[in-house]
Structure formats: C-alpha cells, structure tokens
Amino acid sequence: MQYLAICEDDLLFQFMRDVATEHGEVRFLVQDEAVARRIKRMGGKAWHGDLLKEETYKKVKLHHIDQAVIFLREPESQDRLCKLLRIMDKALPVVLLTNDKNGKKDENDPLVRQIQLTHTFREFWAAHLLDTLNRKKVENIRALFGEEKLHILLQHDPDPDAIGSALALRELLGRNRPTTPIVTFGGVSRPENAAMIRLLDIHIERITYEDLHKDGAKLAMVDVQPPYFDKPLGKVDLVVDHHPKRANFKARFTDLRTPYGATSTIFTEYLRAAGIEPSQRLATALLYGIKTDTLFLERGSNLADLSAFTYLYPFANKAMISRIERPALPREDLEALGRALSRLQLDNGVAVIHMGEINREDVIPQMAEFCLQIEGVEWGVVSGLVNDRVVISVRNVGYVKSAGEIMKRLYDDIGSAGGHRAMAKAVIPLDRFKERYGEVSDRVIRDAMLPMIVEREVEQIAHG
C-alpha cells in the first residue's frame, strides 16, 4: 500500500510515522523544503511543493498512490485540494482529517471519508488521562499496607467479579495467600462459581466477625461496601466497588465507580496502569468476572468494561471459562437425560421432557435450551424433581409469545412461576403439584401447557 499524506507541516508525519511499517509505505507531501528535510532526517519519505498545484502531484507520481490523507487547516485550501485530486484521479480514495472549521459540506463523493480530529482524540485522551489517574490510585493502595496480614473480604456468596477482583488486589500488592487470604462470612454456593474456584485453584476462607482484625490484620473489601454487612466491621482500609453507595461509610481508600459493569474492570485498569501483565489464571478470573456481571457485556456495561474485556481476552483461558460455565454433569443426571431424550415427542413444535429425580437443578434449563437445537422445535419444556420440588424450565425461539406469562398463569398459584418472553421457570412443591395434577409426568405438563401455547399463537394472529 502506498499512502500520500498531505499537510502544510510535519503534523501528519508525527501521527503517521508508524503506519508506514505496519500497513505499507507513507509518502509525506509538505509545503516547505525545510519541513521535508526534517521528515527525511527522521527517516520518512518526503516531498515538498505547492500543495495546490498540479505539477507537484506529477512529481510524486499520483498514479502510484493507493490512498491520500489530507489535513490542511484552511477550509478553502482543503476544498480546493480535494477537487484537484479528484480531477487528476477519479478513483483515488481520500481521507480528510477535519476540524470544526475545515469540515467539507459536500459529502456526495463516496471515495472521500471525513474523520473529525476531536472524535479521534476524545477517546484517545480519555484513556490516557484515566491511566494516569489509575496509576496514582495504585500508588495510594500500595502505600496503605505494610507487612501486616490483610483480609480481602467478599460478599456472602462470592461471585466471579468479587473473586477476580480479590485476586487482582493480591497481585497488585505483590502478596500471596498466607499473608492475604480471601475471606467471606458465607460460602460459595452456585455451581459455576464453585467450578471457577476449583478449576483456578482459588481458596476462599470462611471467617467470623471476631477474627476480622485478629493479630492486627488489615481489612480490604472488593465488589461490596461496609453497609452491606449487618454488623460493624471495625476499621476498613480499602473499598473498591461498582455498586451504588447506599449509606455512608469510612475507609482509608475508596474507589467507587457506579457506571462500571464490574469491579473486575476497575482492577484490570489498575493492573494496566501498574504495568502488570496478568497471568492466565488472573486474566481468566477477571474476564469471567466481567462477563458474568455484565451478562456478556449486555447489562449495565460501558466502554470501560468493553476495553478491559478486550485487553484481558488474549491472556485468558477461554476453554476453561467454557468448563466453568458448563460444569460436568453428574453421571446419574446424564443417564436421566439420555432416557428422557429417547422418549421425546414433538407436538406443534413443542418438546416436553420430564427428567424425573435429578441431583443438579441447573441441568433443567440447560436441557430446555438444548431442545431448541432439535429440528422443528420452537418450545423446549423440561422438568425435573429436585428435593421434593418440581422445577420446570421453558425456552422458546422468541418470536412466539411469552413463556413467562404462560408459566405464571399455570403455576404461580401453587408455587412460584414467571420469567421473560423467551425463558421462564416454575418451582412448585411436589405435594401441591400432585394435588392438582395427580402425578408429575411429561404428559400432564404437556396437557396443561400445549393449549395455552397454541391458543396464544392463534390470539396473536387474530390481533395481528
């Protein structure tokens, strides 16, 4: 690729000198001989001449140029140059760097692309300004702690965002597990989170309020703030969180960023600012933290989350995240699944499967999701018995109508039921289910649901 960068002075050279090696060769065309010499001294290829004269472009052999980049400060000059180039070469793509003054009004030329300088630099500068700020915060954090033991306290049922943030804080401080244990008053209960700490070899210790400051231990908390806990915590040294502030609290260092989708995003910025490249384990934990807290960057996430996610991605172990998200099924559940699948009957695009007694509740929605991959299936309805509760999970292809409403109408009075248009759930005590339906089977569930699914679709057609 041959580029021609046209500018009065060496401004474009300062910005584009590295583009040359990465994407091709850039020739610089400037007004003054002295400027051209300066560019050559710095290793660039430069020509000089009257930027608005045709001869100049004959000299640089315009027909060898694949693309031109232009930045002239005067709007009329910029306009004239555009027209001149177009006359000399009908098919030359042109990128115009514009400011408020020299922006072109005429936007009919499809080969001319305008880039606003202020847009280019807004994001660029914002990132750099933030980075300096983060570096200062890292220094403040490091200054908080000496040789003392440090407890990193998480919420009662620690989630991936909290766990990833805790690991990152430990890394920032250059500490290890014995001097900086990650602690909670509760335990890790969700199967995915349990899989995460098992696969990444993370230890979360249970602690009591009494032991928080034992032997002069310091206290940090991430992804949570002191008012969350119902008892006084004593002196708090550090709080880093993205949740809204609900009540006042005191801490030696606080960084609350409510626009952020995850606390892991804040810690990723700290690590970057501190020049610490995350290990695969740390990057995986942080990436998974951002992913789960933002529902894969959909909920409450902003540019900072996206940028942290993009940064972590190459360092993280994506295969491990898949394993965390789909914890291996217990053997008996797998067999129940196999038996259920062999009985599968399709009726009006509705697949109903009752799995019988199973150990792990999360198998049920997974199976309902899976049903949608079977040809002709528009609704997946899967039920199972988990500890004397009937759990029913529904998934549909989305353009049909609300699974949540149907479940609510059918089951909410004998248990709890509801959800969205495309995914819904009901949990009903076994005795109440039997009271109404006599037994738990795919037949009774199909008989109850099918008329409502079909009826709703007819209704929809009738009402357009």
Query: Which residues contact Mn ion by CB under 5 A?
Result: 161, 223, 263, 293
Alpha-carbon torsion (341, 342, 348, 349), positive or negative? positive
Which is it for strands 25-30 and 45-48: parallel, antiparallel or unpaired?
parallel
Q: How far is the CB of 187 from Mn ion (least distance, A)?
A: 18
Give the integer Cα–Cα distance in Å for 354 and 342: 11
Task: Identify which of residues 81 and 169 has a Cβ nearer to Mn ion in the complex.
Answer: 169
Q: How far is the CB of 224 from Mn ion (least distance, A)?
A: 8
Q: How far is the CB of 304 from Mn ion (least distance, A)?
A: 13
Residues 6 or more apart in contact with residue 269 via CB below 8 angstroms: 130, 131, 134, 304, 308
- Select the residue whose beta carbon is closest to Mn ion and give its number: 161
Task: Identify which of residues 251 and 448 has a Cβ nearer to Mn ion in the complex.
Answer: 251
Q: How far is the CB of 301 from Mn ion (least distance, A)?
A: 11
Give the integer Cα–Cα distance in Å for 65 and 5: 10
How many Cβ atoms sit within 10 Å of the Cβ of residue 344? 13
Q: Comparing C-alpha atoms, which of 341, 350, 366 is closest to residue 425?
A: 366
Measured at the CA of 256, the angle between CA 255 and CA 260, to 5 degrees, comes to 120
Task: Identify which of residues 160 and 278 has a Cβ nearer to Mn ion in the complex.
Answer: 160
Task: Identify which of residues 166 and 368 has a Cβ nearer to Mn ion in the complex.
Answer: 166
Task: Identify which of residues 161 and 442 has a Cβ nearer to Mn ion in the complex.
Answer: 161
Q: Comparing C-alpha atoms, which of 244, 283, 252 is closest to residue 141?
A: 252
Task: Identify which of residues 161 and 305 has a Cβ nearer to Mn ion in the complex.
Answer: 161
Q: How far is the CB of 165 from Mn ion (least distance, A)?
A: 8
> What is the residue whose two structure tokens read 């001319």?
112
Q: How far is the CB of 186 from Mn ion (least distance, A)?
A: 16
Q: How far is the CB of 228 from Mn ion (least distance, A)?
A: 12
Q: Which long-range contacts (CB under 8 A, 24 or more apart) does 364-367 make?
A: 364/391, 364/392, 364/393, 365/393, 365/395, 365/423, 365/425, 366/326, 367/337, 367/340, 367/393
Give the integer Cα–Cα distance in Å for 267 and 163: 11
Which is it for strands 2-7 and 25-30: parallel, antiparallel or unpaired?
parallel
Task: Identify which of residues 293 and 305 has a Cβ nearer to Mn ion in the complex.
Answer: 293
Task: Identify which of residues 223 and 362 has a Cβ nearer to Mn ion in the complex.
Answer: 223
> What is the residue whose two structure tokens read 């059918």?
410
Q: How far is the CB of 277 from Mn ion (least distance, A)?
A: 23
